[in-house]
Amino acid sequence: MELEEYLAVPYKLIMESFEGPDGDWLRRASYPELPGCDVEGLWAVDVVESLEQLRVEIITDRFRKKEYIPVPRPPLKSHAPVLDKARLGFVKYLVDQGKIEG
């Protein structure tokens, strides 16, 4: 397989919310089928974006080093749609404006 094919493999994404040590609610996201691919943070959208960047880094690094890359299902034939950051950031805007609690 080529790098682009590995990058098109759809991994299961797991997301959970949990209370951090200081009482804030945090988000944890991971691709459990890709070892070492997990991220924590405050905003779900930011966590997923960071997770996706980490997924690309891990797969690219393993590909260059000719290391094993898990392929739990076949690659997608098309690229994932680009996230609309302006629309996804709306919840963060509402929290920042005090209209809803985060």
Euclidean distance between CA atoms 8 and 47, whole angstroms: 20
Does pLDDT of 80 surpass 60? Answer: no
Euclidean distance between CA atoms 6 and 74, whole angstroms: 9
What is the DSSP secondary-structure string of 43-59? -HHHHHHHHHHHHHHHH
84 lies in a domain?
A: yes
pLDDT value at position 77? 85
Residue 51 maps to which CATH number? 3.30.160.250
Joined tokens for residue 71: 């392929």
Q: Which residue has the higher pLDDT, 57 or 99?
A: 57
Query: Mean of the pLDDT values across residues 1-19?
Result: 95
Report pLDDT digits (tens) over 16-69. Answer: 999 999 999 999 999 999 999 999 999 999 999 999 999 999 999 999 999 999
> What global pTM score does this model have?
0.75
101 lies in a domain?
A: no
pLDDT value at position 96? 74
Q: Tell me if residue 38 falls in helix, strand or coil.
A: strand
Number of domains in the chain: 1
Q: Residue 88 belongs to what domain range?
A: 3-96
8 lies in a domain?
A: yes
102 lies in a domain?
A: no
- The amino acid that residue 101 corresponds to is E
* CA angle, 44 then 47 then 48, to 5°: 85
